[in-house]
Structure 1
Amino acid sequence: MSAHSDRVLERLTRLHPKVIDLELGRTERLLAALGHPERRLPPVIHVAGTNGKGSTIAMIRAGLESTGARVHVYTSPHLARFHERIRIAGELISEDRLLDCLERCEAANGDVPITFFEVTTAAAFLAMAETPADWTLLEVGLGGEFDATNVIERPRLSVITPVSVDHQQYLGETLPEIAAAKAGILKRGCLGIIARQPAEALEVIEARAARMLAPLMVEGQDWQVWEEHGRVAFLDPQGLLDLPLPRLIGAHQVENAGTAVAALRALGMDETACLAALAEAEWPARMQRLRTGPLVDAAAGAEVWLDGGHNPAAGVALAEALGRLPGRPVHLVVGMLRTKDAAGFLRPLEPVARSLQGVTIEGEAATLSAAETVAAARAAGFAAAHEAAGVEAAIRAIVADAPDCRIVICGSLYLAGRVLRENG
């Protein structure tokens, strides 16, 4: 990252004592001072949910861009560079543009308390409002109702990917409470695309939609997606589509593909765009095979994979994806944050993995120590769980005992980002 935007971003982290403080007043105040850029965005597709938001956005983007459309995209967190969060008309935001928007937001805000995510979201809106495009894809940062992105009065579509338990310290302890936060993105009269949900989550989402007079297209009721004979079948009132398996790996990506296709069909896109959504989408650190770099060299012929999933539902999805790959023994390198349910994430992985190496995520204050990760792994049923000094040391320890194996680095997007930076 350039030192210029880096310095501004560092200053912005000091404007609020909390990293997360869910409410909309601060964001609305800053956007008003900036002349309401959020009201000048191209048509918005707003995406909330617990798992699959990033992959679903990547597929929708691929589908839209295949038609020649120019697409703005806002996602979080970044992996290697902050600039990854903001894509302007198809390209990552330039350093000059990012610096300009950050400085204007900083000047408009002054010293008034505002969280880092709120002020950087305002900067993204500023950049997007000032560059022509056809569509805007917005990923919710956390929750939905009080997330800084939830200032769009009339999105073209609201999309809710599968909801499960995560971020309880901010969103509530129960699934209905968490679903209520996600359902907060549904706006009066605006169509919602709803992925498959647990019954108690869907009940809350449908109740919110009824209050807002927001029509819904719900998986299992209005559309269906399934894998059949190595292909993806999608069915809605417009008919049946026969599509390739997603480029992104795992059965959960078939579900995400269905959500993306349902959204594209609602936007009037044809079968060609739906095919491109599945065939061309890229999203790093989601069952990503690393093929070059120091970590691959350290693996000495063993496969190295990277996945940023970090909650129990992501553990289930990762275990399922690993179970589908051709047979090689699986060994895990795991680093996690203490805000996550580590044992819950690891429990589904225990049947598919031979061993686990726990690592501390360098540079992250909220990291579990390697010892704490190992303790969580043992609580999840892992018999062979050991501490390692770092990711490369963990890989070397694994291949010393199991040279022809599949190594999966997982547990945190922050760990994934560090791996991508250090592995080049």
Structure 2
Amino acid sequence: MDDLSDLIPRFDLRGMDLQLDRMDAALHDLGHPCRSVPAIQVLGTNGKGSIVSFLESALCAAGLRCGVTTSPHLVSWCERIRIQGQPIALDALRSQLQALQPLNERHRLTPFELLVTAAFLAFQRHACELLVLEVGLGGRLDATTAHPYRPVVAVASIGLDHCEHLGSSLSAIATEKAAAIPPQATVISCVQDPEVEIVLEDTCRTQQAKLQWVKPLDPTWQLGLPGEIQRSNAAVALSALQALSGLGWSLPETVIQEGFATARWPGRLQTVQWGEHRLLLDGAHNPPAAVQLAEERKRWTNASSGVVWILAIQAHKDAVAMLEALLQPQDRAWIIPVPSHRSWSRSALLQELPQLELQLHEADRLEAVLTQFSSDGWPTPVPIVAGSIYLIGDLFARGIVTAE
């Protein structure tokens, strides 16, 4: 088997169970791997992965041995553990997970905790000098927060998502995320909702942490990731890299520019090919990301005459708010299921949004929609596939689409 499902607990049996005790105990048993290696921790709701990709690309351009852990993955679990820009080898991850099975049984780790533990061991084995840790969910009780040395915290945009785990108000979610901030850290954030700003300022005051607000980078910066929001994400990454000078690393701005220009993060406003036709993929899977995608659409040629959406949205997501943000009166949307996940259907959406009856269509899979477009005439602008990272991962895994 090469999907590692025999070694990683099933999410439906051992999914979200936010605590730090298990991680603390597991890392203690292992002698705290990487304990003294400094980490940039990246938290927030939307944009974490983009910030990580800018950081990783610049650190690799500077020749630093960096270890990076992210989530979720698109195709392979190996994507979640990277050393100097390269995913961990499948056989290395398999043998590491096998070695961790007794520890896993002892502490009943969640899948995320197990992978973060495996990451720390891999980073130690490769003598990484610096870590970049993307928070999985929340912050206060996230597995990455078990790492004791996080002198720099990069904060992506914080919005409403995972309310069932983190709280139903923006203030509650921000409090849960900001609780990861350690004493005396340097904290960098883009502009946030006023409720979020208050929480970050209060937390940093309590923790005697230094809070820096950054503005989007100007157009002279070439960025490898498309979309206007990336100027804010890159600005957070830039200040986080500059904060490393306090730890003895000084990265020349030319090296950072080179890293930012070559950053890649699949599935985020990514143009791909389906046969001879083009599609745009975006991982927007919550209302704040949908608002951002709607902003981006204003820059697309011919978008005012109508956009065709293909949307797969998990059942626990606020699909109503997402559709309200995305759909203009002249748009059409095909609703398809998220592979292997409970999903919104057209009929369920129409119960909430009856006014969209003429705009919403349904199909059981993406290929059916694309085949129809191919025979009826390919839309302009190109169709946008969004709503779920899992859908995008499935398309790449099955070879349905190929990157340009």
TM-score by length of 2: 0.91
- The answer on whether the counterparts of 1:355 and 1:382 sit within 8 Å (CA) in structure 2 is no
Alignment-derived partner of residue 34 in structure 1: 30
How far 1:169 moved relative to its partner? 0.5
User: 1:118 aligned to 2:94?
Assistant: no
Deviations 1:186-224 (A, max 9, x none): 1111111112111111111111111111111123xxxx2
User: 1:284 aligned to 2:266?
Assistant: yes
User: 1:354 aligned to 2:328?
Assistant: no
User: 1:249 aligned to 2:234?
Assistant: no
CA RMSD, 1 decimal: 2.1
User: 1:418 aligned to 2:394?
Assistant: yes
Q: Identify the match of residue 10 of structure 2 among 13, 36, 39.
A: 13
Q: Identify the match of residue 225 of structure 1 among 208, 213, 216.
A: 216
* Superposition map of 1:46-57 within 5 A: 46-57=41-52
The letter for the 2-side match of 1:184 is A
Quick one: structure 1 residues 72 and 181, their matched pair in 2 at CA, closer, same or farther if it must change by over 3 Å? same
- The answer on whether the counterparts of 1:89 and 1:131 sit within 8 Å (CA) in structure 2 is no
Alignment-derived partner of residue 79 in structure 1: 74
Alignment-derived partner of residue 43 in structure 1: 38
Quick one: structure 1 residues 379 and 180, their matched pair in 2 at CA, closer, same or farther if it must change by over 3 Å? farther
Alignment-derived partner of residue 247 in structure 2: none
How far 1:413 moved relative to its partner? 0.6
Deviations 1:334-355 (A, max 9, x none): 1011121111112221128621
d(CA) in 1 for partners of 2:328 and 2:197?
30
How far 1:409 moved relative to its partner? 0.7
d(CA) in 2 for partners of 1:261 and 1:201?
21
The letter for the 2-side match of 1:150 is T
The letter for the 2-side match of 1:44 is A
How far 1:88 moved relative to its partner? 2.0
d(CA) in 1 for partners of 2:330 and 2:224?
24
d(CA) in 2 for partners of 1:178 and 1:118?
21
- The answer on whether the counterparts of 1:161 and 1:195 sit within 8 Å (CA) in structure 2 is yes
Deviations 1:83-112 (A, max 9, x none): 111102331101222012212221223254
Q: Identify the match of residue 271 of structure 1 among 253, 266, 269.
A: 253
* Superposition map of 1:326-405 within 5 A: 326-327=301-302, 329-351=306-328, 354-364=331-341, 366-369=342-345, 371-372=347-348, 378=353, 381=356, 383-405=358-380
* Superposition map of 1:97-136 within 5 A: 97-136=92-131
User: 1:203 aligned to 2:203?
Assistant: no
d(CA) in 2 for partners of 1:103 and 1:403?
48
How far 1:270 moved relative to its partner? 2.3
d(CA) in 2 for partners of 1:412 and 1:358?
12
d(CA) in 2 for partners of 1:266 and 1:382?
52
Q: Identify the match of residue 152 of structure 2 among 144, 147, 157.
A: 157
Secondary structure at the counterpart of residue 7 of structure 1: coil
- The answer on whether the counterparts of 2:350 and 2:356 sit within 8 Å (CA) in structure 1 is no
How far 1:46 moved relative to its partner? 0.3
- The answer on whether the counterparts of 1:335 and 1:373 sit within 8 Å (CA) in structure 2 is no
d(CA) in 2 for partners of 1:115 and 1:380?
42
Quick one: structure 1 residues 403 and 90, their matched pair in 2 at CA, closer, same or farther if it must change by over 3 Å? closer
Give the fraction of aligned pairs with identical amino acids, expressed as a percent. 31
Quick one: structure 1 residues 382 and 186, their matched pair in 2 at CA, closer, same or farther if it must change by over 3 Å? farther
How far 1:325 moved relative to its partner? 2.5
Secondary structure at the counterpart of residue 243 of structure 1: coil
Instruction: Flag structure 1 segments of 5+ consecutive residues without an equivalent.
Output: 232-241
Q: Identify the match of residue 93 of structure 1 among 79, 88, 94.
A: 88
Alignment-derived partner of residue 208 in structure 2: 213
Alignment-derived partner of residue 180 in structure 2: 185
Quick one: structure 1 residues 370 and 38, their matched pair in 2 at CA, closer, same or farther if it must change by over 3 Å? farther
TM-score by length of 1: 0.87
Deviations 1:285-322 (A, max 9, x none): 0001003xxxx12xx54x31111111111111112222
The letter for the 1-side match of 2:24 is E
Deviations 1:242-296 (A, max 9, x none): 422x2211111111111111212222322213312431110010001003xxxx1
User: 1:308 aligned to 2:283?
Assistant: yes
d(CA) in 2 for partners of 1:345 and 1:27?
34
d(CA) in 1 for partners of 2:33 and 2:50?
26
Instruction: Flag structure 2 segments of 5+ consecutive residues without an equivalent.
Output: 245-249
Number of residue pairs matched?
392
The letter for the 2-side match of 1:170 is H
Between 155-164 and 323-332, the greater mean CA deviation after superposition = 323-332
How far 1:125 moved relative to its partner? 1.2
The letter for the 1-side match of 2:279 is V
Secondary structure at the counterpart of residue 225 of structure 1: coil
The letter for the 2-side match of 1:372 is A
d(CA) in 2 for partners of 1:421 and 1:410?
16
d(CA) in 1 for partners of 2:316 and 2:119?
27
Deviations 1:54-108 (A, max 9, x none): 0011011111111111221100011111111110233110122201221222122
